[in-house]
Structure 1
C-alpha cells in the first residue's frame, strides 16, 4: 500500500489527477498546491466552480494556518481514525479551491489506510472529491466511475468494492471558550450518537 501511495504521490506532485479508494467511496485527488490539477478535477466531474472541494491533511495541527479555530475534540477523531469532515471558518491563507461561498473550508484527516499513506507520501494537503459526475451516485467500485473520466486520469488505485458510507460532516464555527456552534450536516460513516458524544453534548 505504501508503494502504491508513493506512486500516486509522484503523480500528484507532477500535477496529475488520480482515482483512489477513500472513506467508503472512490475519490479523485490532486495536490492542493496545484491549481491546474484542481481545475482538471472540476472539468472531469462537471463540478460548479463555486462548490468547494475537500482537503485531506496529515494531522489537525497542519490545518491551523487554514482555519480560524479547530475544536479540541478533533484530536479524538485523529486518534480513533474516525472519518469525519469538519467545516471550519477559513483564514485568508486557505487555498481558494477549498473555500466555499460562506467562507468555510472542509478538512479531514483520512481514516482509511490508503488516504493516510497518500497524505504522508505527498507531504502536503490533498484535494479530494467523490469520483462520480456531479449529481450522480457516488462510486463504490472503480468500474462505477464513468469510462470517460477514467480514461483521462493519470493513475488509478483499485481497492475493490467499498462500503459506500461517506464521511460524516460537522460544521464548527467560533471558539470553544466563547461557546462555539456545532451542527451535524451529514450523518455518514460515524453515527449521530458518536458525534454528539465527541462534541460533549
Structure 2
C-alpha cells in the first residue's frame, strides 16, 4: 500500500521529501506532480523498478523513459552536448521541455532508445519535483502518468492513490498540476526539431 504525502506546493517539507526519497531508494515507484502533469518516477540505477514502471504504464522498450535532472551539469553527464546545444539548453531550462539528446555510456540501456541510442532528458521547474530529485540524490527515471489505454495524464493525487495504491510505494500530493504534457524537442539534428507540442512558449526559444 502506497504512502500518501501531502506537501506544500512551493516549499515541500524536507522531512516528507526525505521519506519519499527513501521509498525510491528501497526500489519503489513514486507519483509526483511536475510542471507538466503527474509523473511516475524511479531511481536511475534500479532495473526492477524500471521494469515495474514500464508495466504500470504498459510501455515497451522502444518508448523513451525521461531522465529528470537537477541542472545542466547533470545533463552533461548523461548526454553528449555541444556548444550549440548547451546554449539552447541554458535558455530553456528549467521548464516544461523534454530534450532528445545522444546518450553517453553513463546511461543504462533500459533508459535510452535501443536503436537510436538517444535519451529524453529534462530539468523540471516544479519545487516538489526538484525536491524529490534532491532527496533521492540522483537523477530519476520518469514517465508521464497516463493510464494504459488512456489519452490524458492523471492530475489529482487522490485519484492516483485510489487507483494505484497497490502498485506504487508513494504518492505525493503537491496540488493539481497542468494536464498538458511537456513539449519534446529533438536536439540531435543540425537544428532543433519539435517532436511534440505541449507546455511551454516555443516563441521564447525561437521555434515558433
Scaled to the shorter chain, the TM-score interval is 0.7 to 0.9
1:147: Cα distance to partner? 4.5
Counterpart in the other structure of 1:190: 200
Select 1:33's aligned residue among 39, 45, 53: 45
Q: Report if aligned partners of 2:36, 2:181 keep a CA contact under 8 Å in 1.
A: yes
Q: CA RMSD for the aligned pairs?
A: 2.0
1:108 aligns with 2:118: no
Give the Cα separation in 2 of the matches to 1:184 and 1:173. 11
User: Equivalent residues in 2 for 1:1-201 (5 A)?
Assistant: 1=12, 2-69=14-81, 70-78=85-93, 81-100=94-113, 101-136=115-150, 137-145=152-160, 147-173=162-188, 180-196=190-206
Stretches of structure 1 that go unaligned for 5 or more consecutive residues are 175-179
Tell me the TM-score normalized by structure 2: 0.83
Counterpart in the other structure of 2:7: none
In structure 2, do the counterparts of structure 1 residues 135 and 183 end up closer, same or farther at CA, with 3 Å as the change threshold? farther
Tell me the TM-score normalized by structure 1: 0.85
Larger relative contact order (CA 8 Å, sep ≥ 6): 2
In structure 2, do the counterparts of structure 1 residues 75 and 192 end up closer, same or farther at CA, with 3 Å as the change threshold? closer
Give the Cα separation in 2 of the matches to 1:99 and 1:38. 12
Q: Report if aligned partners of 2:161, 2:171 keep a CA contact under 8 Å in 1.
A: no
Q: Report if aligned partners of 1:20, 1:29 keep a CA contact under 8 Å in 2.
A: yes
1:39: Cα distance to partner? 0.8
1:146: Cα distance to partner? 8.1
In structure 2, do the counterparts of structure 1 residues 146 and 14 end up closer, same or farther at CA, with 3 Å as the change threshold? closer
1:108: Cα distance to partner? 0.6
Q: Report if aligned partners of 2:147, 2:154 keep a CA contact under 8 Å in 1.
A: no
Stretches of structure 2 that go unaligned for 5 or more consecutive residues are 1-11
